[in-house]
Chain A
Amino acid sequence: MRAIIEPPPEPGAPLAPLAQRLAWFFGLAFAAAAATAVVAYLLKALLR
């Protein structure tokens, strides 16, 4: 089964170009912040 939490790349494995890695970096960050915001707004709706 594929691990949910991603392990580091194998030693010597080629890295993607920096632009692509930065796109993942900020894309994942934005998605995670959005997921937390959804939880917060759901709780807010529940408590109203």
Chain B
Amino acid sequence: MHFDALLLSRLQFAFTIAFHIIFPSFTIGLASFLAVLEGLWLATRNEAFKVLYLFWVKIFAISFGMGVVTGVVMSYEIGTNWSVYATLVAPVIGPLLAFEVLAAFFLEASFLGVMLFGWKKVGPRLHFAATCLVALGTLISAFWIISANSWMQDPSGYVRMADGTLRATDWGQVIFSPTFPVRFGHMVLAAYLTTALVVGAASAWRLLKDHEEDESCLALKMAIGMFAIVAPLQLLVGDASGKEVLRVQPAKLAAIEAFWDTRRAEAFHVVAWPDEATETNRWEVAIPKLGSLITAGRVDAEIKGLKDFAPADRPPVAVVFWAFRVMVGLGLGMIGLGAWGAFRVWRGGLPDDRWLLRACVAMGPAGFISVVAGWTVAEVGRQPFVVYGVLRTAEAVSPVTTGEVSVSLIAFMAIYALIFGFGALYILRLMAAGPLAGAEAPVPAMPRPPGYALAAAPVEPEERS
């Protein structure tokens, strides 16, 4: 492997985007969770919802801040490392990214201020409106990013000018490219799952320490409800997304499944070791005919193998193959955890099932890992193109030297490690302390002075001066 400016620029973008995606995938779900908590508090006046809101809004604020810092850097990176891409594609992609920033700024960042500092100043209803606007902002932000990325995966509604630049001819086709709906659904569900797993893990951790902490029990039930419903739904949406890949990016699908030869009734490779040099799998554990059934919906369907594509047009196989299996494997784990949790909620005894609580804690990071693995499949699987079938990644890189990119990559790694390290540590400490750590502790009852007529009865906190 030769570490030239192209590979280093790709590594740099992969590194920064992998760090960045962790935060939006968490805050998209958390913003909606906060809106639900506040809505339930307004409707029921159950104090547990308020305590949970005040706890998770702190974590949301920190995650949102880290998401902004890591996200803003990426837009500059397009200019520094991918200036040819920016020059050629900006007339199409630029407005979509601009709308994303507008949504992020005008809804998320703006009304976050009201969420954090304005509850007494604006009153409960306007505050709830602010929380809903932030949640809506995160979804609109995701809409534009997935729209831009879906267009890069399956470009349509554009024309290539004589100077090589791309111009939109039909904005409807650009924004709503054919794979967009299913990819948007897949990402939003992934974000909800990620948040549910984190909320579940933090709540389970608290219940392992104190199984009578009602707020954590309530939050865990809400999290289990979410991943019991959303994880199986995500499997269906993911399958629909895979069918779209088969239609628009057959080389990516062949890499996902390590299919080398075009054949009917293809086997499903549960695990394999794909070898690009020999164009075979060195070893594999396969289930006959299941590959065609899963990918095309028919046992006898013919699936294109990688050998049908010129070596220069194939994505890296092993990375895509294994990233997909990490994503799906963890997804199946989430379905299992959801079923187990739902059974325990139904039968009772949730706070006392220590094995379930431990499993919830262990699965806490699974959403983040799945999201990064899923994006690895999407982005590495699109190679060697940056805009599929239109612009190769090698043609999109800036005229930068290996030394320049090396220095900036090392700087990014050091700064991100610092920011992420402190941020993650602080969030983990907040989660470990639990929702009651910042809440007012109940004042213990004091004995009455001797000789008082009701000396045996304790003084209630409200009676004290």
Which of A's residues lie within 8 Å of B, judged by CB? 3-9, 11, 13, 15-16, 21-22, 24-25, 28-33, 35-37, 39-40, 43-44, 47
Contacts and interface: CB of A to CB of B under 8 A. Distances in A.
Given A7-B54, A24-B118, A43-B69, A33 B105 contact: yes
A23 to B, nearest CB: 9
A24 B121 contact: yes
Given A4-B116, A28-B118, A32-B109, 15 more contacts: A5-B116, A6-B116, A6-B119, A6-B120, A7-B54, A11-B45, A13-B120, A16-B121, A22-B122, A24-B122, A25-B126, A32-B110, A33-B110, A47-B73, A47-B80
B97 interface: no
Interface of B: 41, 45, 50, 54, 57-58, 61, 68-69, 72-73, 76, 80, 105-106, 109-114, 116-124, 126-127, 130, 438
B111 A32 contact: yes
Given A5-B58, A21-B121, A33 B106 contact: yes
A15 to B, nearest CB: 5
A5, A9, A24, A30, most chain B CB atoms within 10 A: A5
B69, B110, B117, most chain A CB atoms within 10 A: B110
6 contacts: A15-B123, A25-B114, A28-B114, A29-B114, A39-B68, A43-B72
Given A7-B119, A28-B121, A43 B110 contact: no
Nearest to B130: A25
B278 to A, nearest CB: 44
A28 to B, nearest CB: 4
B73 A37 contact: no
A44 to B, nearest CB: 7
Contact of A8 (B50, B61, B105, B438): B50
Contacts of B122: 21-22, 24-25, 28
A39 B50 CA distance: 30
Contacts of A22: 122, 126
A28 B113 contact: yes
Contacts of A43: 69, 72-73, 76
Contacts of A16: 121, 123
A32 B123 contact: no
Nearest to B126: A25
A8 B57 CA distance: 13
Nearest to A31: B113
A28 B118 CA distance: 7
A25 B131 CA distance: 12
B105 A37 contact: yes
B120 A8 contact: yes
Contact of A33 (B45, B109, B117): B109
A8 B124 CA distance: 7
Contact of A39 (B72, B76, B106, B123): B72
A22, A25, A43, A47, most chain B CB atoms within 10 A: A25
B191 to A, nearest CB: 21
Contacts of B438: 3
Contact of A5 (B54, B110, B130): B54
B358 to A, nearest CB: 31
Given A7-B119, A29-B110, A40 B72 contact: yes
Contacts of A4: 116
A33 B105 CA distance: 6
B67 to A, nearest CB: 11
A4, A24, A29, most chain B CB atoms within 10 A: A29
A8 B105 CA distance: 25
A31 B118 CA distance: 12
Given A3-B438, A6-B120, A21-B123, A29 B73 contact: no
B212 to A, nearest CB: 24
